[in-house]
Amino acid sequence: MTVQDYRSLAGQTFVSDWFEMNQDRVNQFADLTVDHNFIHVDVERTKAETPFGGTIAHGYFTLSMLSHLGETCLPPMPPNAIPMNYGFEKVRFSAPVPVGKRIRAHFKLSKVEERKPGQWLSHWDVTVEVEGQEQPAIRAHWLTLFILPG
C-alpha cells in the first residue's frame, strides 16, 4: 500500500472484532495503574451501592484498548512505516462499560495529512460500542502518526 492508497481510504469506516471486558482483566488493569476504586474491583459493593448493577471497566482501560481493537480491522500502512500514537484531539467517556460485556470500535478515517516530509498524521473518529447498549462508551478523535524512513 502506498501513501496515496492509504490517503484514499479517508471517509471509510473500519469495525473491529469484539473484545470481552472481564473482571480478571479489569483487576489486572487496577493493579497496574494502582486504581482500585471499588466500582471497578468490588462486585458486591458495586451491586449494593451503585446504579451500575456490577463492576465497570476503567475508562482509561477501555481507551487503551484502541490499539488492540485497531489491529483487528485497520488497513495496513505503507511498507516500512513506523506507526506511533500521536494523541487525542477529544475524548469523551459517554457511558460505562459493565464488566462481562464486549466492546468493539468503529474507526472512521477522516483525513491523512503530511505533517512534515516523511511524516503522515492520520485523523480517526472513533466510537467504542458496548454490546447490547445504545449509548457508546467512548467517542474520540484519535491521532496516529506514521513515519517513513528516509
Per residue in 62-106, pLDDT (tens digit) is: 999 999 999 999 999 888 999 999 999 999 999 999 999 999 999
Structural domain includes residue 138: yes
In angstroms, the CA 98 to CA 55 distance is 6
The predicted structure's pLDDT at residue 79? 87
Structural domain includes residue 10: yes
Query: Does an H or E element contain 105, and which?
Result: strand 102-116
How many independent structural domains does the chain possess?
1
Q: Domain span at residue 107?
A: 3-20+57-147
Q: Compute the chain's Rg from CA coordinates.
A: 17
Query: Does the structure show a pLDDT above 80 at 149?
Result: yes
Structural domain includes residue 93: yes
The pTM is what? Answer: 0.94
Structural domain includes residue 129: yes
SS (HEC) of 40-60: HHCHHHHHHHCCCCCCECCHH
The predicted structure's pLDDT at residue 118? 94
The predicted structure's pLDDT at residue 1? 87
Residues 6 or more apart whose Cβ sits within 8 Å of residue 144? 83, 84, 85, 86, 121, 122, 124
Strand 19-20 and strand 13-15: the pairing is unpaired
Structural domain includes residue 143: yes
Structural domain includes residue 112: yes
Q: Tell me the CATH number at 75.
A: 3.10.129.10
